[in-house]
Amino acid sequence: MDFAVECTDGPARVGRLETLHGVVETPAFMPVGTQATVKGLTPDQLRDAGAQMLLANTYHLTLRPGDDLIHETGGLHRFMGWSGPILTDSGGFQVYSLAVNCRTTDQKAIFRSHIDGTELELSPEKAVAIQENLGSDIAMCLDECPGTNSSPERLRDAVRRTILWAERCKACHQRKDQALFGIVQGGMNLELRASCAQALTAMDFPGYALGGFSVGEAPGEMYAVLPDVAAMLPTDRPRYLMGVGRPEDILAAVASGLDMFDCVLPTRNGRNASAFTDDGSIRLRNTCHKRDPAPIESGCQCYTCRQFSRAYLHHLFLANEMLGPILLSLHNVAYYCRFMGEIRQAIREQRFAEFRSVRLARWGTNP
């Protein structure tokens, strides 16, 4: 993997991330394909919508269908029919999101499967081996993600364990065609974030991620610390903010100097009749759309907006037709990809602050 920053506008930056399976222009948003699929959308639809890189999940793919099966069938790219870059997370977020079914020691995380109750042990070494089996372009170190309301002692212990696990991931990682990223934890505590970032940067990973955001804190709390935390990371490596994906959050993160983002919002909201637009979200179930011949967003070139009216989409959701969630998910992914392209263009033209201000005003959102 190669990465270069091509231009900056304050901390905001445009970069070029080169992988074996293609180039990603940053800042970039990765649609989430947890179980080797972005829900409801085909790889061709994702490419046409502008997606550059997808994210898949180590924990879920290990449980079903199994990383060995995926490896036997030619790796994750062939298995899911996506020829572009793929990033796999390590299972560290599931330590937080599935905490009721998980316990951790310094050696490993031990899960009780949410599917059938069987036990899954995920050590740093196993997390790396699984991701090497999957064949993703970017793999993530196993980390421990504490919740926002964790005690100071809990946060310190999670940082200590994250550093310990990163050392073990680095030591066992072997694939030369796969980049391994370290993950900085520490909650809203800048001292803990700094100590974690210092330890990880000393290990010289090819990229770095910020974990432990969007796990219960208010947006303003995150915005307050992001510039300082981003500045702790090397300027010549990609910087990935994990699991944060509201458009206004992305703008704040780009303004802080971050490059990569993922979130389930485009497809989750699409399945629930909510569409993203430059003027804010709209709910297609609302009666006001029943006879509306307009597309979701005038000027949008996605397939959904070119072909279908709000009235038709309203009908699909009221009739519980599966095409409704598919078409709205497609629009939302295309919206995010276009949004990221507009961000990159604004940075290149040295007008990102203005772009952010205008967009937030249209959404009625405070910076």
Half-sphere exposure for 283 (CA within 13 Å, toward CB): 6
Burial call 274-289: b when 16+ CB within 10 Å, e when fewer: bbbbbeeebebeeeeb
pLDDT of residue 160: 98
Model pLDDT for residues 28-81, shown as the tens digit of each residue: 999 999 999 999 999 999 999 999 999 999 999 999 999 999 999 999 999 999
pLDDT confidence tier of residue 204, bands split at 50, 70 and 90: very high
Selected catalytic residue, list 137, 249, 259, 262: 262
CATH 3.30.360.10 correct for 2-263: no
- 18, two tokens: 């080169």
Q: Which of 9, 67, 89, 259 is catalytic?
A: 89
Residue 367 has pLDDT above 80, yes or no: no
CA pair distance 157, 151, nearest whole angstrom: 10
Residue 321 pLDDT > 80:
yes
279 in catalytic set: no
Q: Give 161-196 pLDDT, tens digit per residue.
A: 999 999 999 999 999 999 999 999 999 999 999 999
pLDDT surpassing 80 at residue 13: yes
pLDDT tier, 16 (very low <50, low <70, confident <90, very high otherwise): very high
What is the rounded CA–CA span in Å between residue 76 and residue 357? Answer: 40
262 assigned to active site: yes
Distances in Å between the alpha carbon of 273 and those of 33, 106, 282, 289, 349? Answer: 20, 43, 8, 12, 35
pLDDT of residue 365: 85
Residue 147 has pLDDT above 90, yes or no: no
pLDDT tens sequence across 242-294: 999 999 999 999 999 999 999 999 999 999 999 999 999 999 999 999 999 99
pLDDT for 123 = 97
User: Pick from 162, 154, 221: which is nearest to 190 by CA?
Assistant: 221
Question: Residue 366: what pLDDT?
Answer: 75
Query: According to the model, what pLDDT value does residue 95 have?
Result: 84
Give the pLDDT score at 144.
95
List the domain boundaries for the chain.
Answer: 2-263, 265-367
pLDDT of residue 266: 98
Residue 89 has a pLDDT of 96
Q: Which residue has the higher pLDDT, 115 or 72?
A: 72
Give ∠ CA 213-214-218 in degrees, rounded to 5.
Answer: 105
